[in-house]
Every structure is written in C-alpha cells, then in structure tokens.
Amino acid sequence: MKNTNASFAKYGSLAMLMVAQIGTCGDNSTMNLITNALIGSFQATMNQIQLANIIYSLVTGALMMFGGMLGLAIGWKKNYIIGSVILVVGEISLALAPNMVFLCWVSRVLCGLGAALLVPSILGLCVVLYEGKDRALAFGSMGAATGLSSILIPPLAGYVISGAGWRWAFAGLAAYFAVEALLAQVILPEDKKSDSGIRLDYRGAILAAVGLLGLIYGITQISVWGMIRPIYAPFVVFGMSPALLVVLAGGVFLVWLYFFERNVEKRYQSCLLPSSYTSTSQVRDGLLLTSYLYICFGTVGFLVVTWAQLVAGYTPTASGLLTIAMAVPMILFSMGIPKLCYNISPHSICKSGIVITGLGCLCLWIGVNIKGINDWFIVGLFLLGAGQGFVASQSSMIIAQAVNARDAAQSGGIQASTRNVGQALGVAVIGMVLLFSLSGAFKYNIEQLPITPALKREAQRVKMYQLQSDHDFEALLVKHAIPAQDTPRIMSAYREARLTAMRRAIGALFVVVVLHLFGLGAVPRAPFSQQR
C-alpha cells in the first residue's frame, strides 16, 4: 500500500505538472491560430498580431524571476494555484475582448502575469519533489508536455475556432485552467516553504521588469517605428525613430540590475538573480540552451501558422494539425532520451540536437513556395521537433546540477524568464526580418515591372507592406483603383516578394540556431550518471 501511495504521489504530481505546462503552452498556440479571425473581427494589422503574440512572453519574461522568488517565499503549491486562478481571469477577458488594444494590454498582460507565477512553480516543484534520474525524467517530461500541447491544443482550438468562433476557444482555456487548479489542490503534495526567511526583492523585480520590457518592446517596434529613419513612430528623437533608444534604455536597466543584485546578495544572502547564475559558465550555457528552445518553438509556431493560413489557405484546424509534425518527435525525444541515454553526455546530446534543428530549418526553406508548402516542409517540422526534443531533455538538468539546492529550486523562475524572453525576442527579430524583407523585395519587384512611373512612385511611397493573403492584397489594389491590366503583374510581384521574405526569415532562424553551437563550451561532457 505504501508503494502504491508513493507511486501515485510521484506520477500523479508529475501528470499534474504536465497538465499545467500543456495549458501555458496551449495559450500561445491558440493565439497563433487566430490570425485570420483577428483580422476579420478587429481589422488587425500583422504588427498588432505580432504584438499580441509577443506580449504574453514579454510579461512572463519580465516577471518570472520574481515569480520564482515568490514561490520560495510562500511555497510552490500556493504560487501554482494563484497563477492558475489569474490565468482563468485572463482567458475570460480574452474571450470577451472588445478590441485589439484591450486584447493586447489587458488580456495578454493578465495571462502573462498568471504564467509568471505558474511556470516557475512547475519547474520549482520538479526540483523539490524529484531527485537524480527522477528529476531528469521530470524535466524531460516538461519538454514533452510542450510538444504534447502542440499536438492536442492546436487541432482542438482550431476546430472550436472554425465551428464556434475564436472567443469560445479562450473560454475553453479558462475552463481548462479552472479544472487544473482544482485538481492541483487535491493531487499536489503540500510543500514546505523553501526558505521561510527569504526577503522578496521588489526593487530588483522592478528593475528586471523595466529592463526586459524596454529591451523586448523596443525590438518589436522596430518594424513599426523604424530602426533609424522613422516609419510610423509616435514621436521622433533628433529626427530618429525612438525604437533603438527604448532598446538602449532597457539594456541600461539590465546592467543596473546586475550590479544592484550583487549588493543585495551580499547584504541579505538571497536575491532575485543569484550570482551563481551569472558567474557559473555551466549555468549560463544551460540558460542559453533554454532560450534557444523557445526561440525555435515560438518563431516556428508564428511563421508556420501565419504562412499556412495566409498563403496556403489552411483553416485553423488544418494549421493546428500541421504543427503535429513538430510536436510528436519533440515529445518522443524529450521523454525518451533521459530514460534511454542517461549514460550519454549532455554536450553530445545538445550538439546533435542543434545540428538536427539546423537541418530542419534548411528543409523548411526548401519546403515553402509561392502557393504554400510542399512535402519538404513537413520533413523540416519533424527535424525541428526532434532537435528541440534533444535539447529539452538536457537544458534544465544542466542548470540544476550546477547550483546549490536553494538556487536550483529558484531556477524555475530564471529558466522560465529566459525561455519567454527568448521566445519574445525570436518572434520580434524574425518577424522584423519578415516584414522588412517583404517591403524591400516588393518595392524592388515593382521597379522591374512594365507599369506606369506613377504606379511605381505610389508603391514606393508606402512605408511598410504587411504580410497578407492573395484575397486581402487584391482587395487592397481594388481599393486604390489600380488598373485591371496591371493587377496580375503586381499580384505576381507581391507573391514573389512574400516568398523571398519567408525564406529570409527562415534563413535568419537558421543563423540563430547555428550560432548556438558556439555556446556549448561549459555543457558537461560527462553523463549525468557519472556526476554527483
């Protein structure tokens, strides 16, 4: 009987943590699917849709370090429940959102705040409840849950969106988190406060939030405000776009945070960002791998669904089913490697994963065409999922093995912050490459067409072109009274520019992936089974 109870506590808690992980990833997956719905409901631009996708990651990235510290102070289970309840409120507000401004700055912020408490609690409980090989399995299971979310949520959400509307999809997520919170109250064991004397670092949390918000928001706005020359900037500074100044201000706050935290740690022995995370090379490389995972996961999700719906003409349900090609291998490898390859070094596994991911990017590049996608696209998604599964099976353990017990428990917030910052930066930078490339390529293509100089001048006057479906772009041409004899040529120029932009965005992702091969220097070359 005792063995049965112990097994239930062990695997029941693990299942509960996976359920929560699936939900937090499912929120982003559902947002990716409603591109066309938001255009139809609110006449949203691609910049607004990109912002709606980023704000969740932006808020969570800014606040998760504090969420991890709060979990230490009040207990991980309590932190977990509070985060789940906030997510219920956020999803309800999404379902009732009256416009894009409310959706972005109220609903997505609430969801981000809830996740900022829930996600660190998931990772913190992995450290508190499990040890050794069980801990490796628990961390691998969280990577698998991310993949499982990509299998379950998109097709279900797509079916609901197609049949009942996008608002009901978020109402369903609200119900999901409500049930999850109730089950967690019963199934998860009561954990003791990891450190009852811990001092909550509010000032550090404010510095981190302001710094990360400035850095990420500034990057996201480059495609709207312009990098140097203003495009649609709300104001100018010495004739320049304010975007880089916002990025620079965010960077200054983060540097201030680093020195502030060192003083706090010396004085109180605990802080928001322990020195072990900045001074230990193994931890830094582990965090870099965590960021890499969500750069890939978030960016690929954004690009795949956007291209599938706007160019290939996929329904939300079909777009969701497409992501299964990436999710299945991610689940299999992130759960299978800790059990079957415990005696292989993390360095070898992570290096192999990054190489496989790079090959996946090349297949994606080949797999897109003017009309949509071909079979190579599916192969690319499979390889991307496999590569991410390799890395997901190791990244959290690499960090947890390199720090003391309390810092390992607090690592949940820092890891979660890193991954969400990575996801937000990935979507922002790759989205910027996509939109700038589209505008530049289309304007170049227009100059090569045998159309009137007046039409060419009008095309050049547009500061930024949006990624649109053929139907929407043709409607735009009709709105501007473009002569019927020129419409087919201009449409062809736009389709070619759209393909060029997508391939450049995938190429940029490939470069980001390959660069991570140079960040494995401190990743252990000995298997976890040989480490203490």
pLDDT in tens, 408-432: 666 667 777 787 778 778 888 888 8
Mark 69-101 as b/e (b = at least 16 C-beta within 10 Å): bbbbbbbbbbbbbbbbbbbbbbbbbbbebeebe
Structure tokens at 375: 């079979």
Average pLDDT over residues 443-466: 88
Report d(CA 390, CA 286) in Å as an integer: 13
Averaged pLDDT for residues 363-382: 94
Q: Note whether residue 154 is domain-resident.
A: yes
97 pLDDT above the threshold of 90:
yes
Q: What is the pLDDT of residues 38-76, one digit of tens each?
A: 888 888 877 777 778 778 877 887 788 888 888 888 888
Domain hosting 69: range is 2-201+270-437+503-530
Asked if residue 134 and residue 34 are part of one domain, the reply reads yes
pLDDT band at 1 (very low <50, low <70, confident <90, very high): very low
Give yes or no: residues 192 and 222 share one domain: no
User: Would you state the pLDDT for residue 376?
Assistant: 95
Residue 483 lies in a domain: no
Which residue, 252, 269, 286, sits at the end of a domain?
269
What is the amino acid identity at position 222?
I
We report the CATH number of the domain holding residue 51 as: 1.20.1250.20
The helix (H) or strand (E) run that includes residue 403 is none
| pLDDT value at 486 more than 60 | yes
CA-based nearest residue to 26, from 154, 120, 172: 154
Decide if 245 contacts 219 (C-beta within 8 A).
no
Give the end of a domain, one of 269, 284, 310.
269
Here the tokens at position 452 are 């009137």
Residue 493 lies in a domain: no
Residues 6+ positions from 4 with CB-CB distance below 8 Å: none
Residues 54 and 156 in one domain: yes
515, pLDDT greater than 90: yes
Better-scored residue on pLDDT, 233 or 529: 233
Rounded Cα distance between 242 and 526, Å, is: 48
Cβ contacts of 245 within 8 Å, gap of 6 or more = 218, 237
Residues 187 and 208 in one domain: no
Distance CA 85, CA 245 (A): 37
Together in a domain, 142 and 258: no
Query: Which residue reads 């992570």 in tokens?
Result: 350
Does 532 have pLDDT greater than 60?
Answer: no
Domain for residue 450, yes or no? no
Residues 298 and 185 in one domain: yes
Q: What is the pTM of this model?
A: 0.77
Residues 33 and 176 in one domain: yes
Question: Residue-wise over 461-496: b if at least 16 C-beta within 10 A, else e?
Answer: eeebbbbbbeeebbeebeeeebeeeeeebbeebbbe
Average pLDDT over every residue of 160-180:
92
The mean predicted confidence, pLDDT, of the chain is 85
Q: In total, how many domains does the chain have?
A: 2
Question: Quick check: is 258 in a domain?
Answer: yes
Residue 476 inside a domain? The answer is: no
Are 258 and 285 in a shared domain? no
Domain-located, residue 525: yes
Tell me: do 186 and 211 sit in the same domain.
Answer: no
For residue 133, the one-letter residue type is K
Higher pLDDT, 258 or 532: 258
Tell whether 187 and 129 lie within a shared domain.
yes
Work out the number of other CB atoms within 10 angstroms of the CB of residue 452: 11
Average of per-residue pLDDT across 207-229 = 84
Q: Are residues 289 and 251 in the same domain?
A: no
Residue where a domain terminates, one of 251, 269, 287: 269
My answer on whether 258 and 309 are in the same domain is no
Q: Is residue 101 part of a domain?
A: yes
